[in-house]
Amino acid sequence: MPAPSPARLTVDLDALAANYRAIAAEAAGVEVTPVVKADAYGLGATAVARRLHAEGARTFFVARLSEGEALRAGLGPARPGAIYVLDGLALAAPHRLRAAGLSPVLNDPADVEQWRAPAGVRPAPAALHVDTGMNRLGLTADQARALATHQPDLHVALLISHLACASEPEHPMNAQQLERFAEMRKLFPQARAGLANSGGAFLGGEHRFDFVRPGISLYGGGPFERPDVRIRAVATLDAPVLQVRDVAAGESVGYAAGFVASRAVRVATVGIGYADGVLRANSPAGAVWFAGARRPLLGRVSMDLLAVDVSDCPTVAVGDRVELFGPNLPLDDAAAAAGTIAYELLVRIGPRVERVYR
């Protein structure tokens, strides 16, 4: 019998493409500009961006200069497209971006001054980030107004802002930020405008503007931090059963005797732990999918192992695979059980986990 594969992350690129199309349909045809920062939320920026490019994506966002450099190399000369660096110029000199064929997101007046073209040189495109209430990055309304007069040495191709509460459709900040963004947009009529992340793309027509900028819903997270029928699972994390044991009533399982059996239980010890990105905060609410149902975790998640209650699974055997999240156990549910959000589950998947694309 061949040895079972270790903990494995399977990325379904067809599901990724389906989510891209679902978001495009939801956004009524405006451009979808994928956010592939943090290695496409841990799923592999090169593989993800190549597939999305094949689906028609031509504008990408990353957070860091290094991510942009890697993405430009990963796309290669055969796949042209714009890559915007959300960090702007705070940590990267303009020549570094130009050398890699990247465009900055200009987040404050210092960024703007650094990006101005010398006299006689055609200005290179940039995105301008205006703050509409999140107070994280972006020009204030006053700074934007001061900039809005004729600027021959700047090419503001895109105007962006970011929603603080898009995962809560009823939150009053969505309407307030929309109103502020619509005002600022009048200052830069030539720029194409984009406000919406995944949640924003599903908030309805007014939030769409000229393009939407999703991350998590491309990767299988619902736009409102819960499973959504329009979004398919892209990532499946699974791991093998390494041992099955019967534990008598009164015995405990794992570190700190975190689970004490009140009756006899059958326990599967599974080869995945917090070094692979399964959060310790899964104790006590966490579950996995196995043999057609959700099965509770028992006790603490260890670095390399966790324990699952398989008392109701008479046929469980070494090498069987349990699903931590995927098509049977939605990413958003797995995140909620660990007290976090889908984004964090994805980006925490450790380097030891084998990656498979299909």
Ligand X SMILES: *Cc1c(COP(=O)(O)O)cnc(C)c1O
Nearer to ligand X, 169 or 296 (CB): 169
Cβ nearer to ligand X, comparing 162 with 208: 162
Are 325 and 345 spatial neighbours (Cβ–Cβ below 8 Å)? yes
Strand boundaries in 280-325, DSSP class E: 287-290, 293-296, 306-309, 321-325
Q: How far is the CB of 199 from ligand X (least distance, A)?
A: 6
**Residue 295 DSSP SS3:** strand
Using CB under 6 A, pick the residue from 42, 44, 104, 214 that binds ligand X. Answer: 214
Catalytic site residue from 41, 219, 255, 274 = 255
Identity of the residue, 84 or 290, whose beta carbon is nearer to ligand X in the bound complex: 84
The token pair at 245 is 């044991």
Residue pointed to by tokens 């499973």: 227
Contact 341, 215 (CB under 8 A): no
Cβ-count burial of 350 within 10 angstroms (0-12 exposed, 13-18 middle, 19+ buried)? middle
Nearest residue to ligand X on Cβ basis = 215
Cross-strand pairs, 192: 158
255 carries an active-site annotation: yes
d(CA 178, CA 192): 15
Any bridge partners for residue 293, and if so which?
A: 290
Q: What are phi and psi of 29, to 5 degrees?
A: 90, -5
From 159, 216, 234, 349, residue interacting with ligand X (rule: CB under 6 A)? 216
Considering only residues 78 through 97, tell me which ones interact with ligand X, judged by CB under 6 A.
Answer: 86
**Catalytic site residue 186?**
no
Which among 15-23, 214-222, 244-252, 332-340 is the span making contact with ligand X, rule CB under 6 A?
214-222
Total of residues contacting ligand X (CB under 6 A)? 10
Question: Of 37, 41, 219, 343, which residue is the catalytic one?
Answer: 37
- Residue 296 has phi, psi (to 5 degrees) of -70, 145
Q: Please identify, using beta-carbon distances, which residue of 224 and 357 lies nearer to ligand X.
A: 224
Burial 139-174 (b: 16+ CB within 10 A, else e): beeeebeebeeeeeebbbbbbbbbbbbbbeeeeeeb
Q: Which of 88, 133, 215, 299 binds ligand X (CB under 6 A)?
A: 215
Question: Considering the rule CB under 6 A, would residue 104 count as an interface residue with ligand X?
Answer: no
Say whether residue 162 binds ligand X (CB under 6 A): yes
Q: Which of 107, 198, 302, 311 touches ligand X by CB under 6 A?
A: 198
16-75 residues near ligand X, rule: CB under 6 A: 35, 37
Q: For residue 197, state whether it binds ligand X (rule: CB under 6 A).
A: yes
When the beta carbons of 185 and 321 are compared against ligand X, the nearer one is 185
Give me the residues that bind ligand X (CB under 6 A), please.
35, 37, 86, 162, 197-198, 213-216
Return the active site residues: 37, 255
